[in-house]
Amino acid sequence: MHDQDDDGPAGRLRAELRSRRRAAGLSQGELADRIRYSREYLNKVESGAKFPPETLIAAVDRELSADGVLTGLRDRAWKARRAHRHDLPPPPDERDERDEGDEANRREALKLGGLALAAATAADVSRRIASAGADPHPLAVDELEVAVAALAERYPTAPHATLTAEASRLWHGAEVALDRRLSLRVRARVVRAAGTAAYYVGRLAFNLSEDAVAMPFAALAAQHADDIGHPTLIASVAALRSSVAYWQGRYPAALDYLADVERSAPAHLTARIATYEARAHAAMGNMSAALEASNRMLATAGEFPIQMGSTSVGPAVAALSRAQEEITFGNAREAERWARRSVDAFQPGAAEYTLEERLGAVLTLSRAVMLGDRPDVEQAAENGRLVLRELADHPTRTVAVKVQKLWALFDADHRRVPSVAAFGSDLASTPLALPAGTSA
């Protein structure tokens, strides 16, 4: 959504923000550094390309000593935005300030029956609220939130095809609820549930190589996230959109999505954002930038509680990411060291654990060993077969690509070894979640 109404509440908020920033002698980049957002994101807010999250405006208000002026303007802009979306008249304090100060206009409005018109409008709104029904029963909203939280808990290990249907059902139910007239408090809860469910539908579709489904759901989740200014959902959606771009080979676009949230991501997702930055830089051959992001990832990785949205990065995922970067740059020995650390560190039940990344660690270790001076072809082949057995019930795009990359490392002599031949036979007979045109 592009909020370009310069005379409306959103335009007044942008103008006030820009004016106070300039009065403080700060560039967009300098202010962005102070509030831990990217300059690109702040630019989008000031230009109207992005409706500002509550967290950003609160940070700017504090930094510029605005004494609540900016947060108050943001609140009025948000209410006007909500009203516009649902075809309601703006609240009284959202009228054009020029009209409020024009006594002659007010007198003329009274002569023309302005109060009668206002009364008729109020009656119409009241009838529509009554016909649409009040908020859902509190228990219904609670149950929706619990169901979405359960989806997040099951995501790491449950078959993705099964979860996709469940996530779609939850998303649809939340969107139906949003079509009703809801109080702002309840609407914020339902928007978060709808956005989170949409995120999971998009993430699951991506895992199943359905990018044509993943991208619109990611865009919808981003709209919901921006509506309520929820940092975790905003960062999770950015990570998802970056993943889609990365696996499509659009590495600069993958970095652009991450730049918007690099400074604003919550603590438990800071390392995840850095992980995705590192892999995109590595794929582009920019070793120094990849190592800088990788070191930032290692410094911010940690143990965090399981939360809805993108999973956190702990010791296992951090080691896996570093191993993959070392493979990209041809450092087989370092890749093997990091991959072994990753395989040993994965613990089911940990907040960072997903079956996808555990299998990725096994395959990364196998690839590192195959690229070393003394490849253990039989162990690598057995690892490949183990992963394929898991993929039969849990088809996952990223693992499918990596298992094909492992197979590509066996030369003609290797493929005459019985265990390697058996791996090849299993690979040929296992359906893989691969997008069209994907190759090793």
Number of structural domains in the chain: 3
Please report whether residue 307 resides in a domain.
no
Same domain, 97 and 161: no
The Cα 275–Cα 160 span in angstroms is: 23
Same-domain pairing of 57 and 155: no
Q: Which of residues 214, 233, 258 is at a domain's end?
A: 214
Do 321 and 370 fall within a single domain? yes
Q: Under 8 Å CB-to-CB from 313, ≥6 apart: which residues?
A: 271, 272, 274, 275, 297, 300, 301, 321, 352
Predicted confidence (pLDDT) per residue in 325-371, tens digit: 999 989 999 999 999 999 999 877 777 788 899 999 999 999 999 99
SS percent in the chain: helix, strand, coil, step 5: 70, 0, 30
Note whether 329 and 427 are same-domain residues. Answer: yes
pLDDT of res. 306: 82
Q: Of 184, 205, 163, 22, which is closest to residue 88 (Cα–Cα)? A: 184
Contacts of residue 214, defined as CB under 8 A and 6 or more positions apart, other chains included, come to: 202, 203, 205, 206, 240, 244
- 385/427 Cα distance (integer angstroms): 8
Residues 440 and 381 in one domain: yes
Query: What local confidence, expressed as pLDDT, does residue 370 receive?
Result: 95
Whether residue 225 is contained in a domain is answered as: no
Q: Residue 206 has what pLDDT? A: 93
Q: What is the pLDDT of residue 361?
A: 94
CA 331 to chain centre: 31
Do residues 324 and 439 both lie within one domain? yes
Q: Which of 155, 188, 214 is the last residue of a domain?
A: 214
Instruction: Dig out the tokens for 17 from the structure.
Output: 């923000």
Which pLDDT score is estimated for 3?
54
In this prediction, the residues of the chain whose per-residue pLDDT falls under 50 are: 1, 86-102, 105-114, 435-440
For residue 325, give the amino acid letter. E
Q: Supply the pLDDT for residue 365.
A: 96
Look up residue 397 and give its amino acid. R
**Of the candidates 79, 77, 81, 41, the residue with the CA atom closest to the CA atom of residue 59:** 41
Statement to judge: residues 52 and 170 lie in one domain: no
Written as six digits, the tokens of 369 are 């060993």
Cα dist. 267→65, 178, 270, 433, 438 in Å? 25, 30, 5, 32, 34
For residue range 140-156, list pLDDT tens digits in order. 889 999 999 999 989 88
pLDDT score, position 338: 96
- pLDDT in the model for residue 297: 96
Q: What is the pLDDT of residue 136?
A: 75
Q: What are phi and psi of 265, to 5 degrees?
A: -60, 140
Say whether both 60 and 145 belong to one domain. no
**Residues 214/219/220/223 CA torsion (nearest 10 deg):** 160
Residues 97 and 144 in one domain: no
pLDDT value, residue 96:
45
This prediction has a pTM of: 0.73
Task: Decide if 264 is inside a domain.
Answer: no
Nearest to 66 by CA among 26, 100, 98: 26
Could you give the 3-state DSSP secondary structure of residue 209?
coil
Cα 94 → chain centroid: 32
Looking at the fold, whether 151 and 97 belong to one and the same domain comes out as no
Domain-located, residue 201: yes
Residue 358 lies in a domain: yes
The answer to whether 198 and 221 have CB atoms below 8 angstroms apart is: yes
Q: Is residue 235 part of a domain?
A: no
Last-in-domain residue among 214, 244, 275:
214
Q: Do 13 and 79 fall into the same domain?
A: yes
The string of DSSP letters for 332-357 reads: HHHHHHHHHHHHHH--TTSTT--HHH
151 falls within a domain: yes
Considering the domain architecture, whether residues 149 and 207 belong to the same structural domain is answered as yes
* 209, part of any domain: yes
Q: What is the pLDDT of residue 438?
A: 44
Torsion of CA 294, 159, 232, 293, to 10 degrees: 10
Angle 153-158-162 from CA coordinates, rounded to 5°: 115
pLDDT score, position 93: 47
pLDDT of residue 132: 52
Structural domain including 379 reads 314-440
Q: CATH number of the domain that 57 lies in? A: 1.10.260.40
